[in-house]
Amino acid sequence: MAVIAGNWKMHKNRGEALAYLQEFAPLVAGSDREILLCVPFTALAVLAEKLATTGGIALGAQNVHWEASGAYTGEISPPMLTDLGVQYVIVGHSERRQYFGETDERVNLRLKAAQSHGLTPILCVGETAEQRQQGLTEAHILAQLAQGLVGVKLTQLIIAYEPIWAIGSGHTCQPEEANRVIGLIRKEISFLQQVGNQPADSVRILYGGSVKPDNIDDLMAMPEIDGVLVGTASLDPRDFARIVNYRQPD
């Protein structure tokens, strides 16, 4: 099933989140897509309560600590999220790597902790414009996967390919190029499944970076792209509903 995930980043208070849901939910009712809203910690509880009765929309957080509890001021643990009914969590988003010193080692700890508490992590990988210019895209992504996925189960996992130069820039990666890189990630995952003697379950791989209502149909027409992770366009309920309800080629 295609995964259509919104990442609200640091947007919307509780009232705005509820108003959004009221408009968004009817527009996607009965959808056969896996719809996911990754919202700020402060909006999780109020949305969880509403979604328990709405159904069809899952909740995700945008980060998680690796310990279940402890003296970690300002952090949120996996059991705190599952207690609210959260099922997914974004891990290693490029904004966390870029602005908050996130490392592959910590990404790895978060992934393992999320999985062991029953959360499905969404691991974000992707190259900078400079790395792309230097021909380092593939090597960089493979290194992020190699370091991030040590000891991580290759089931109960979603990966998002988010080229940093495409995030919030309006410059979407060409669908064919996103398809190529995602194909490469898929090959690597199936290699890691083989060498790690893990079941060859399919890990869904999403594209993220300036996904909009006017490019979603072309992106989802690509065979390797299992879904999208949407920032800016997920903030508007009508835009995001149009993305959820993308049209498939005849």
Binding region for ligand 13P (CB under 6 A): 7, 93, 162, 167-168, 208-211, 229-233
> Shortest Cβ contact with ligand 13P: which residue?
231
Amino acid at position 238, single letter: R
Cα separations in angstroms, 220 against 154, 224, 237: 23, 9, 19
93 or 132: CB nearest ligand 13P: 93
Tokens of 222: 């690509």
Distance in angstroms (rounded) separating the CA atoms of residues 28 and 161: 25
115 or 210: CB nearest ligand 13P: 210
Q: CB of 232: closest distance to ligand 13P in angstroms?
A: 3
Name the catalytic one among 93, 95, 102, 127: 93
Beta bridge partners of 158: 122, 204
93 or 106: CB nearest ligand 13P: 93
Distance in angstroms (rounded) separating the CA atoms of residues 219 and 211: 8
Based on the residue annotation, tell me whether 49 is a catalytic residue of this protein: no
Distance in angstroms (rounded) separating the CA atoms of residues 229 and 234: 9
* Half-sphere exposure of residue 135: CA atoms within 13 angstroms, side-chain side: 0
Beta bridge partners of 24: none
Report CA dihedral (118, 122, 123, 126) to the nearest 10 degrees.
180
Name the catalytic one among 34, 102, 127, 162: 162
242 Cβ contact list (under 8 Å, min separation 6): 213, 216
97 or 106: CB nearest ligand 13P: 97
Q: CB of 160: closest distance to ligand 13P in angstroms?
A: 7
Based on the residue annotation, tell me whether 171 is a catalytic residue of this protein: no
Cα separations in angstroms, 95 against 76, 123, 217: 18, 13, 26
Amino acid at position 148, single letter: G
78 or 163: CB nearest ligand 13P: 163
The residues that are catalytic are 93, 162
